[in-house]
């Protein structure tokens, strides 16, 4: 597994400059977040199926999204689309606490087991409609959306703290990563590279 980690980090380093993010990817055991039959592929830089029509995202995309959030370590972060819990586990290395929302109860339950196995303790899992966010827990210093939609749900943007950043794949003819930053001038949007995510339900 150690050799797999080092190989993955070598593949990510040309594309991800934030050493804190790279350290988080190294620290989180991705093999704890994939089905047992796929453990040998856990450290490959590819998405893998996890059931319920969902995937664990490609490590490069997870790392890029975390890098774009520019977390300092003291933020409260909202993660929409828990999936296997891997993305939340990486975020938990970079923030004070993560709230992760998943529509599929079975996936959330498995994510809880995965996070416990990886000894990640600063993640709160919830089952529900992630597009509504968690207004009772807002505002958030970072919001990660791990599913694609035609537009960023307004409720999520409204739950972004001043100075916070939201990262999401947005479907506009093709999927691209979009960053929304809440500045003193309002919400500023930047569109970046192409990606491929399952749809936001």
The yes-or-no answer on residue 57 being catalytic is yes
8 Å CB contact between 30 and 42: yes
First to last CA, the chain: 34
The one catalytic residue in 52, 57, 100, 108 is: 57
8 Å CB contact between 200 and 148: yes
Q: Any idea which residues carry the catalytic annotation? A: 57
């Amino acid at each position: 597994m150690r050799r797999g980690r080092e190989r993955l980090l070598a593949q990510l380093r040309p594309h991800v400059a934030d050493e804190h993010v790279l350290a988080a990817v190294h620290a989180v055991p991705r093999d704890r977040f994939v089905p047992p039959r796929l453990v040998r592929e856990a450290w490959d830089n590819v998405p893998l199926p996890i059931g319920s029509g969902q995937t664990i995202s490609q490590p490069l995309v997870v790392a890029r999204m975390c890098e774009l959030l520019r977390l300092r370590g003291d933020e409260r972060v909202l993660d929409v689309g828990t999936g296997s819990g891997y993305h939340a586990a990486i975020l938990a290395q970079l923030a004070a606490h993560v709230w992760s929302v998943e529509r599929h109860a079975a996936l959330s339950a498995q994510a809880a087991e995965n996070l416990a196995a990886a000894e990640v303790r600063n993640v709160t899992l919830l089952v529900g409609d992630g597009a509504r966010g968690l207004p009772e827990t807002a505002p958030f210093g970072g919001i990660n959306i791990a599913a694609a939609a035609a537009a960023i749900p307004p409720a999520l943007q409204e739950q972004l703290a001043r100075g916070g950043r939201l990262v999401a794949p947005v479907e506009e003819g093709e999927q691209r990563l979009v960053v929304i930053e809440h500045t003193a001038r309002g919400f500023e949007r930047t569109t970046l590279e192409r990606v491929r995510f399952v749809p936001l339900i």
